[in-house]
Amino acid sequence: MLVPGPVMEGLTMRSMSTLSPVFLLALAGSASGQAFPAVVELSSLDGTTGFVINGIDRYDYSGFAVSSAGDFNGDGLGDLIIGAYGADPNGNAVAGETYIVFGRSTGFGASLDLSSLDGTNGFVLNGIDPVDVSGFAVSSAGDFNGDGFDDIMIGAKRADPNGITDAGECSVVFGHAGSFASSFELSSLDGANGFVFQGADMADNSGYSVSCAGDVNGDGFDDVILGAPEVDQYPGQLSAGECYVIFGAAGGFAASMNPSSLNGANGFVLQGTFAGDVVGRSVSAAGDVNGDGIGDLIMGAPGADPGGVLAAGQSFVVFGGANNFSALLPLMSLDGSNGFVVNGIDAGDSSGRSVADAGDVNGDGFDDFIIGADFAAPNGVARAGESSVLFGGPNVGAIGSIGLASLNGTNGFVINGIGLHDYSGKSVSAAGDVNGDGIGDLIIGAHQASPNGINRAGESYVVFGGSGLGASGSLELSSLDGTNGFVIHGIDAFDYSGISVSSAGDVNGDGIDDLVIGAWNATPNFVNGRGQSYVVFGRSDTTPCVPDVNGDGMLTPADFTAWIAAFNAMAPGCDQNGDGNCDPTDFTAWIANFNTGCP
């Protein structure tokens, strides 16, 4: 709702209409919506195109992990979650902190300091013990308990539950309406407000990766998945890895649970096979890739050696099913009916470093998924990195395995990184629909790229979905030109922008999905390692041009008349500076907007 400004009373069309008609006619022109350029500079975010989120203290490393939090507070807007695993809450060194930033439709400034979160605009969740590194991984948990509010997950891979060194933990915190304090202690989880999942054995690193799993058992509740990549299977099978799926439910949660609690009815264990596979380095929902109406899962094993190819990497897709899980599912048992394995290509590619649901990027009605291989060498460029998109379909993975080398444009395609040691594919995610064309998009991080010659400032790439996407079997990130996607440049040397990337949901309430990007080593105000995160607002070719108040697609004197009418009626077209108010400052803003026009 627009709010009348303090000096609005008594202003009318006559008292405001002093602008020369000749001046207006001279400025008249086309008012098309603004699409993305080929390059977005994070340094240019100004509150209208997005905003910067500044970390707090030295070596907090805020932005190491970022994600949408869903709608945690139930206000209808997307919220954000940001991890700062190096923070020292309550004096506990490197216990870690996590921040929820609430979305709002009244606008954001050019920057937001995490220190300003006060419960009304977001809050901090404090890790518990020294060196827990809480916030190393963060994610929405979907609506895990079915109360209508989205929940969140926070991984603390080096926590010591029950005194077991580095067994790791994952905290699930339930969303709710009403008021929030400025801080929340994860130690206060009691089953009613959330719970903690505790790793089993020393150095398991449970909580290394966390994600909403979608509804994999078809009961109407969102489920969650977390990875423990350093779990040892059988004698000598060191770091084979495990993943844990916990089923959502309406209630009855204990304050804590562990792998031995999972019995097939409340969740199950996914068991890695070979030493060094590190299954669970990455985990995600895969969407519904086989079109059976039930969500599926994906997990990465970047250390795996498919066909004896050292560290080419593998990923595993597990199909969801109603009442279809025992307490233990060995990943070696996937045979095409219950899921399948995706094999990397070349030695050292580390395919599966990152995995994600891709949404339906080719618009065929089936969800797709994306796998990052940040050590790959496309076009012979060492560690430029690759990401592979695999298209869903009713027969996907039917023979039990897919080789990434077989992608040909009909079953998926590869996205090739650009520069030496860019590490494209370190992070991958669905981007939501950032350009408003009705088809999902992708975002890929290359945290060691050097845009504009700035060493390791980092880059991220948005690839627009479309019916012909990847038809040739490959896409060069160097080809993004604003029509098929765009590149996002980091700011300063060694920021490592793109270390984490995600859809942000719709945080500003304009109906278009936004993006969030982490730069864990950024130095706002020259404080080393504070970290930054960046929200880039989605925009559409059909986004209304702000000074085109009457919406006729042209900038003419008629828009001035329309603005006066909006001013007198306190209608949305009045607010030209986006401050949520309708006052005479919007007149000056309208002139500026009119002068600028809309490309």
Q: Indicate if the pLDDT at residue 4 is higher than 50.
A: no
Q: 416 and 346 in one domain?
A: yes
Do 581 and 467 sit in the same domain of this protein?
no
Average pLDDT of the segment spanning 387-413: 98
Mean pLDDT estimate for the chain = 93
Q: What pLDDT, on the 0 to 100 scale, is given for residue 14?
A: 32
Q: Does the pLDDT at position 490 exceed 70?
A: yes
- pLDDT score of 85 more than 70: yes
> 3-class SS at 171?
strand
DSSP 478: G
Cα dihedral 589, 590, 596, 599 sign: positive
Do 22 and 112 lie in a common domain?
A: no
Q: How high is the pLDDT of residue 598?
A: 64
Q: How confident is the model at residue 15 (pLDDT cuts 50, 70, 90)?
A: very low
Given 536, 561, 585, which residue is the final one in a domain?
A: 536
Q: Are 356 and 455 part of one and the same domain?
A: yes
Instruction: Give which of 518, 514, 521, 523 is closest to 533, Cα–Cα.
Output: 518
Return the pLDDT at 570: 81
Domain of residue 376, CATH code? 2.130.10.130
The per-residue pLDDT for 292 is 96
Instruction: Tell me the longest C-alpha to C-alpha distance in the chain.
Output: 86
pLDDT of residue 324: 76
Asked if the model's pLDDT at residue 166 lies above 50, the reply is yes
Is the pLDDT assigned to residue 31 strictly greater than 60? no
* Segment 257-301, tens digit of pLDDT: 999 999 999 999 999 999 999 999 999 999 999 999 999 999 999
> What pLDDT sits at residue 236?
81
pLDDT value, residue 484: 96
Lowest mean pLDDT among 99-113, 115-129, 387-401, 574-588: 574-588
The lowest-confidence range among 7-11, 146-150, 341-345, 370-374 is 7-11
Q: How far apart are CA 520 and CA 500, in angstroms?
A: 9
Residue 30 has pLDDT above 70, yes or no: no
Co-location of 530 and 581 in the same domain: no
The confidence band for 439, taking pLDDT boundaries of 50, 70 and 90, is: very high
pLDDT above 90 as % of the chain? 82
| pLDDT recorded at residue 447 | 99
Structure confidence at residue 33 as a pLDDT band (50, 70, 90): very low
Q: In this structure, are 427 and 568 located in the same domain?
A: no
371: exposed, middle or buried (Cβ count in 10 Å: 0-12, 13-18, 19+):
buried
Dihedral angle computed from the Cα positions of residues 226, 372, 350 and 471, in that order, rounded to the nearest 10 degrees: 140
Q: Considering only CA atoms, which of 306, 312, 307, 242 is closest in space to residue 278?
A: 242
In a shared domain, residues 240 and 349: yes
- Average pLDDT rounded to a whole number, residues 134-152: 99
Reported confidence tier of residue 435, pLDDT bands at 50, 70, 90:
very high
> Domain check: are 244 and 161 in the same one?
yes
**What pLDDT does 544 receive?**
58
The confidence band for 87, taking pLDDT boundaries of 50, 70 and 90, is very high
Burial of 389-415, coded b for 16+ CB within 10 Å and e otherwise, reads: bbbbbeebbeeebbebeebebebbbbb
The pTM is what?
Answer: 0.87
pLDDT band at 572 (very low <50, low <70, confident <90, very high): confident
17 pLDDT higher than 80:
no
Number of domains in the chain: 2
Mean pLDDT of 336-358: 99
Q: Does 255 lie in the same domain as 230?
A: yes
Q: What Cα–Cα distance (Å) separates residue 24 from each residue in 17, 556, 559, 599?
A: 11, 7, 10, 18
Average pLDDT for 352-356: 99
Where b means 16+ CB within 10 Å and e means fewer, 55-67 reads bbbebbbbbbbbb
- Confidence (pLDDT) at 571: 79
Q: Which domain holds residue 189?
A: 39-536
DSSP-derived secondary structure letter, 192: S
Q: Are residues 414 and 560 in the same domain?
A: no
In the predicted model, what is the mean pLDDT of residues 203-222? 98
Last residue of a domain, one of 491, 516, 536: 536
Q: What is the pLDDT of residue 577?
A: 81
Residue 27 has pLDDT above 50, yes or no: no
**Residue 599: is it exposed, middle or buried by C-beta count within 10 angstroms (0-12/13-18/19+)?**
exposed
Average pLDDT over residues 509-532: 97
pLDDT band at 509 (very low <50, low <70, confident <90, very high): very high
Residues 66 and 12 in one domain: no
Query: Are 496 and 566 part of one and the same domain?
Result: no
* Residue type for position 163: G
Q: What is the DSSP letter of 168?
A: B
